[in-house]
Structure 1
């Protein structure tokens, strides 16, 4: 196994574990930046390990045309903050590949990238699905490079790796009563609970609170599904082809059933009473809650003035750029940051690894709902009483949790 002792490091070469980092996990240089070039296709890939806790970092692997080192670094920083906010005993990382996932050569690119990053995947980087890469594809690649499963770096530290792997496989295969894979929808469920926590804190009637969601993939689709199930009217859904809108609320399950393999809704089968609008229309909808759940950097300084929602819940990583968030906050439009709202999948994966949740999906739902409500309630209380923006409060939670883990150097995985 390759370890930190024989992997080249950035900076001065000293390991930057949690005990050596600043209190705020955002206020530091990444532990490691790596760039990879694919000789077959010319694709470029990146890995940024922002922080290590107990020698581990977690974060997904994405593939999209135009992916950059800057983007991956931002996402790694967000993962580091996310794990700290939820008190997870692991640092943050992210991988990215500048390539079209729809290209027939994409699987080969993914496999060669993982081979190049194998030392990190073997010992330190716990990864999972992200934009353009499904969990199924990642696990297939891990099998081919003889690493078993994408949680390998953590599983191999277990006292009984085979039993831990069996538990992880069983957890990833767990299904809800609706037949949905828990691992596919737990992230969206968490975002839905973040939305509901905001509604609860503001005293809004859920059945009269309108929501617009940009994105109908794993995160956006799951968010829409669970808000609809709770009776919250989702009035707009947007994918790459445009925005679907109904002022009284969309039939979310029916529309999600029309998605193709790329997460786009078949427009030929959309009901006539659903308006088909331009893709960017979703951001300017006059709704109570806007959920950017598709691409990073969706709300920018250029389009922030068109946002009419009363609250933005960031389901996509870095869905709102900092200058846009400042402008929204000045208008008293609150932004619930990504490292809280979309942390459900990461938190659940580590609860599963640590044996803190079992195979009953509803136990995982209960824990995530309680954890999400607790953090959102704290953010909303700070805003309501002293006007502290939600991000500032959430960063304070992350800093306190990271400080409490400063003396933990070993991770026990049952």
Structure 2
């Protein structure tokens, strides 16, 4: 069966008894009785959106040959509402049987990792990877390894668990530049979204010498054709990933939020909302390649149109897989608390996969998504959707 059309294993809708908000869990597949995928919160979130994201997680775990299936949680609620933490807590309490045994969740749009872990602590589950940790031969030791990895400091003052996803996106961008022989300092990039994923990508691209010419948050687009001072802008963010306009460095142009799509740059990174590129705006894209840092950032119709006019799209289940892949490498003991080891593993795997899909695109104009789906299908166990046998071994 074509994985793009496969029906999920389970769809569940929950109604919050306090606010009336709706929450969703979609389990697309179980492998060894377990699935992984974050929980997002945004006003307007739908079960169809969550199902798309769960399918993407299943493709992500298969592409990176992880021994788990894919799932996703979603809440139709404003994360800035003061009641948001209560909504998330009650959602997790309702889904506790899944969280105890079968679903490993983590941060996503509108839900930072520290909040997920705070909720899990309230529920007595210690950490959001609980469903995997409790399967290990020594859960206490595995928990210590996970916490050490998540909280390992990296240059720049951040924690490894907070930046690894953005680092992976940066490596996808650098992989595209390397594959096509672009000189990194002369390559330009525009990034939509400056939160955990987009901000991390901006930091590591800036550190690598690539010119970040535009970033966008909810308030608008910041543009500087000679390159933005990324570290300064990241220091000006609030807890919602929005930049304080009153303290901006000089020389930055303030543009409408939608202008990020049409920015003249070699690479465009949608790192904020799903379906950011649609049939009504894909024609504005000037980049040569789109690197999907956000889940389901491009609609199928928009991607087809982009491909038709020669714009390659690196799909989300490759470009933003860094956090998910790394979490499972950490759980399985394949990386530890040394950030250098984690960065090397992710850099090597991400750039190799980007080179693979772009080779097929360059030679035969095979869309990168099709090549990536073929890779996922090769790695996916034949019992991917149906397996419920707890055979996963975690040291």
TM-score computed with the length of structure 1 as normaliser: 0.93
Query: Number of residue pairs matched?
Result: 392
* Kept after mapping to 2: 8 A contact 1:26/1:81: no
SS at match of 1:302: coil
Aligned counterparts of 1:332 and 1:356: Cα–Cα separation in 2: 38
Residue number among 235, 239, 251 corresponding to 2:229 in the alignment: 251
SS at match of 1:81: helix
Aligned counterparts of 2:253 and 2:156: Cα–Cα separation in 1: 28
SS at match of 1:312: strand
Residue number among 124, 130, 133 corresponding to 2:108 in the alignment: 130
Q: Match for residue 392 of structure 2? A: 411
Aligned counterparts of 2:354 and 2:345: Cα–Cα separation in 1: 14
Residue number among 326, 332, 337 corresponding to 1:359 in the alignment: 337
SS at match of 1:150: coil
Deviations 1:352-406 (A, max 9, x none): 0000001100100000000001111111111122221111100011000114786
Gaps of 5+ in 2: none
Q: Match for residue 43 of structure 2? A: 65
Q: Match for residue 268 of structure 2? A: 290
The answer on 1:327 being equivalent to 2:308 is: no
State the shift of 1:25 in Å. 3.6
State the shift of 1:409 in Å. 6.1
Structural mapping, 1:53-202, within 5 Å: 53-202=31-180
Deviations 1:226-245 (A, max 9, x none): 00000000000000000000
* Kept after mapping to 2: 8 A contact 1:26/1:80: no
TM-score computed with the length of structure 2 as normaliser: 0.97
State the shift of 1:26 in Å. 3.2
Structural mapping, 1:17-28, within 5 Å: 22=1, 24-28=2-6
The answer on 1:314 being equivalent to 2:292 is: yes
Aligned counterparts of 1:166 and 1:379: Cα–Cα separation in 2: 37
Deviations 1:200-257 (A, max 9, x none): 1111111111100000000000000000000000000000000000000000000110
Gaps of 5+ in 1: 1-21
CA gap 1:36/1:233 in 2 versus in 1, 3 angstroms: same
State the shift of 1:177 in Å. 2.7
Coordinate RMSD, CA, aligned: 1.3
Aligned counterparts of 1:52 and 1:405: Cα–Cα separation in 2: 9
Aligned counterparts of 1:278 and 1:388: Cα–Cα separation in 2: 34
Structural mapping, 1:204-223, within 5 Å: 204-223=182-201
Residue number among 266, 269, 273 corresponding to 2:247 in the alignment: 269
Q: Match for residue 39 of structure 1? A: 17
